[in-house]
Structure 1
Amino acid sequence: MGHLSSFLALIVLLGITVCVGRPRGRILRGYEAPPHMKPYMASLQVDGKHMCGGFLIAEQWVLSAAHCLEDNPEDKPFQVLLGAHSLSLPEPHKRLYGVRAQIRHPGSSQETYNDDLLLLQLEEKALLNEHVKVLPFQRQDRDVPADTMCEVAGWGEMTHSGKLPDKLQQVERPVISRETCNLRSRHDNMITEKMMCTDSKRKDTCPGDSGGPLVCNGIAEGVVAAGSRVCGNYLKPGIYTRIPPYVDWMESVMASAN
């Protein structure tokens, strides 16, 4: 009996070791994006460290997620890296821009996922070229049909230990209906009409990807907001802030800026 107990204890210990060793906090089965094929992507940085994603929506404006401000506890101003594929290697059109204004949506808060948008005004207009381009965003307020395959990219975490990639990663995910996302076993009626979801089974966005665009048929439909604490948990689909309900706010902010 003692030998059996020892054997069972060893099996349990081995099982725990295997589970702990599996990378959980990563874009599961994502892959390195083709270099500079997503010229709209932005890296929001503090002291040279990547914090969040974002994307260029006008020559002097980047859209991201408001909760990225909470990830910056010292409240230092962001800098925005454009034209990058690798965060560390020299590249011909890579440039770091200062930020003149950080404008979060007035309805955003740390307690909810509501209105999770952040506009960043660059100190100067971005120099547009083959590696730095504006991404068009959806203006028509209608839901993306379920099962539409969309893509998301970012420099977010790749392993459960928090390892960040140097080069841009991407993954394709199908949209799931709001009804499915709001099931009690999923997000339990937390998903409003201003949000959308994608399937997160084995492939997902992770911390550091927040603020990046969800691109469907070449147009930004949403902004990465939140998901499961453990990336790739199919019971916690990825959550995105839909862009169309906020077009008036975005254009008002951009028009009123100096």
Structure 2
Amino acid sequence: RQPLLPLNALLPPRGRILGGREARPHLRPHMASLQLDGEHICGGFLIAEQWVLSAAHCTEETDGKLFQVLLGAHSLTEPEPHKRLYRVRAQIPHPGSNVYNNEDDLLLLQVGTGPPLSPFPPCSPVLPFQREQRDVAAGTVCEVAGWGTVTHSGRRPDRLQQVERPVLSRDEYPPARSPRPRAHGAARSPQQPLAPQGDSGGPLVCNGVAEAVVTAGSRVCGNYKKPGIYTRIAPYAAWIDRVMGALSGQEDTP
């Protein structure tokens, strides 16, 4: 009887971004760093007052701990006037998410009350997300930002990085990685393909709207033949509204 394979040998690769450049400071106040014990684990973004959207698989190795959420940061370590660290009141993965695949890979976090999220000049800290169930036109250049790995050696930046990439048509998905039409999309660039760890949960932003959440990249960093996979947000808008509606307005507890 053959022994079972290690669990991670069966899992798809998780969200990563490779390449890009340092973002202009504080033009993306919606960007969130999900942290445990002061360490950046995943990205996320503010979609409403006290609500951050991220990827459910970010919770896989947290031993049930709740994240802390850093908002308003450009540098993860340097003092900055708009930087705020919040505790998390509720951490709700989509009920369909699991460790075996990339399906339903969304996570909602309700941050506790604390220092105000504003002012964040010149931008609003809330990023609108797509509610209309439609495909982004192939070739549309969208952007991803995060504090994930930026080199093949695993170096992580202290300052927020960004990269732009075009969206693929469904006909261009490699057959072995063709995502479920309801919930996923893909993007790539031959010059700046998807890869490094730590960017999961960040938004794919097209024309100023969050269309999707970073879910998975190629297991081989920089392989442009295997595009990054993103979880589209529109099919989950009702679930997001339902969760936020059920928990918003409840009194915060110490």
Q: 1 CA distance for matches of 2:197 and 2:206?
A: 21
Who is 1:202 aligned against? 191
Q: Is the 8 A contact 2:217 2:228 kept in 1?
A: yes
Displacement of 1:91 after TM fit?
Answer: 0.1
Q: 2 CA distance for matches of 1:113 and 1:160?
A: 23
Q: 2 CA distance for matches of 1:141 and 1:128?
A: 31
**Across the two proteins, how many residue pairs are aligned to each other?**
229
Displacement of 1:224 after TM fit?
Answer: 0.2
Who is 1:82 aligned against? 71
- Cα gap change, 1:152 to 1:205, in 2 (>3 Å): farther
Letter in 2 for 1:77: L
Say which is worse superposed, 190-199 or 172-181, in terms of deviation.
Answer: 190-199
Q: Is the 8 A contact 2:195 2:220 kept in 1?
A: no
Displacement of 1:27 after TM fit?
Answer: 1.6
Tell me the percent identity.
61
Gaps of 5+ in 1: 1-24
Displacement of 1:207 after TM fit?
Answer: 1.1
Q: Is the 8 A contact 2:35 2:42 kept in 1?
A: yes
In terms of fraction of residues, the more helix-rich structure is: 1
How do 1:88-107 and structure 2 match up within 5 A? 88-107=77-96
Residue-by-residue CA offset, 1:33-59 (whole Å, 9 max, x unaligned): 000011100000000000000000011
Who is 1:15 aligned against? none
Who is 2:140 aligned against? 148
Who is 2:238 aligned against? 248
How do 1:15-164 and structure 2 match up within 5 A? 27-28=18-19, 30-72=20-62, 74-124=63-113, 126-130=116-120, 133-164=125-156
Residue-by-residue CA offset, 1:36-93 (whole Å, 9 max, x unaligned): 0111000000000000000000111000000000142x33210000010000000001
Instruction: State which of 158, 162, 165 in structure 2 corresponds to 1:170.
Output: 162
Gaps of 5+ in 2: 1-15
3-state SS of 1:153 partner: strand
Q: 2 CA distance for matches of 1:84 and 1:179?
A: 38
Q: 2 CA distance for matches of 1:128 and 1:208?
A: 26
TM (normalized to structure 2)? 0.86
Query: Looking at CA atoms only, which structure, 1 or 2, has the larger radius of gyration?
Result: 1
TM (normalized to structure 1)? 0.85
How do 1:7-18 and structure 2 match up within 5 A? none
